Structures are given as C-alpha cells and as structure tokens.
Structure 1
C-alpha cells in the first residue's frame, strides 16, 4: 500500500472463503515495502479479524485497509453478513489479541452486517 489516504479492499462474496494462503498473498502485496515488524503486526490483526468473521458471520466478507498518512494510522475493517443470533455479543480470544496489539478497536452492528475494526498507529 502506498503512503497517502488510501483504501484497498478484498471482497469475498461466496460461501467458499479464500484460503488463508490466498488472503496472506493479497495482504503481502498490499504491505510490500513496509518494515517487517509492521507487516507482521498487520498480518496478525487481519488474521484475527477475518477468523472472527469466518467463524461467526456469513458472506459477503469484506476486508478493508485504510492508511491515513496524516496520523500514520492504518484502519483495518472486516465486514460480514450478520446472521441472527440470540444472546449478547462478547469478544473471544482472537479479539483479546487484537485488543492487546492495537491502539483502538470496536464493533459496529447494523441490521444485516457487522463490522469489526482496529487501528494501528505507526511511529516514524
């Protein structure tokens, strides 16, 4: 991903979600040229958010990466169709990892979709 206020997205719109290797390849292309530790951190957060969507949601799945050059912040969003379920939403182990690695994260639930987002801030 280049510097700037850019957004890139990967849309997975069928029940056969891409393999982890396919998503990793797509992500590697987006973070090419980033320092290794930063790219690894992004990969872990993306992986946890996607695992959460694949486990609890339904297609379509949308992974978005938005870089804000002014704040050196990358926002990662994973949106999925949210099937009806009873009970209160609560974070699982993967989201506890996201909580520990990111500066901020949250969940936005709409009528038919759920978006889990996380922000990573990178120091120059």
Structure 2
C-alpha cells in the first residue's frame, strides 16, 4: 500500500489501516419527532483513517511524524467508497509511540498509532 503525505511516499507500510466514512449532520435540524421518525440534514461526508505500525526504526518514525507535523496536509490513501487511491486534506490527532527499545545499536519504536480526519 503506497501512502503519501503532500505527495511524498511514507517510508514504511502500516500494519493496521482502517477507513471510516463519516456522515456529518446539522445538529440543529437533524432531530427525531415524537413518534421516533428521524428528520436528518446531512451536511457532508468525510473520511477518517486509523493507521498504525508494529515496529519502526528511529529514522522511519521520525520521517512519518515529521511528514504530518503541519496543522493540515494532503494524504493519499486507498478509499473503499471510490475503489481507488484518493487525496484528502487531513489533520492528525495525538500521536503516541509507547514503546522504544534498542537492538544491535538500532533504536526501534513499537505500536505507533494515530487517527487522521478529513478537514
């Protein structure tokens, strides 16, 4: 899977990748009536991507995190609704990288996981 940030491929493929298609509704006009009928005013459809890696070297994790350091960035990924790769303007949430260890002089990070949400 070839993921790109601002047109540049990421250095490692993820071990976890999940796309969620989100419907955003108008909170004021999307209501249920007394008989339970939903009156829905969908504003737009957005994408949310959950992504994670089992293990990355210090160089790889640095490249991935630096690629997504801006407030917003273009992210290219395979989309299930379109059936092909698409590019969306995204932002990133928290980026915990919980476990680091050293093996044969190489620093490794385990379980980097985060969520990207379409702007």
Higher helix share: 1
Fold-level match, TM-score > 0.5?
no
Query: Quick check: which has more Rg, 1 or 2?
Result: 2
Please indicate the TM-score interval, normalised by the length of the shorter structure: 0.3 to 0.5
Give the TM-score normalised by the residue count of structure 2: 0.40
Normalised TM-score (structure 1): 0.38
Higher share in strand: 2
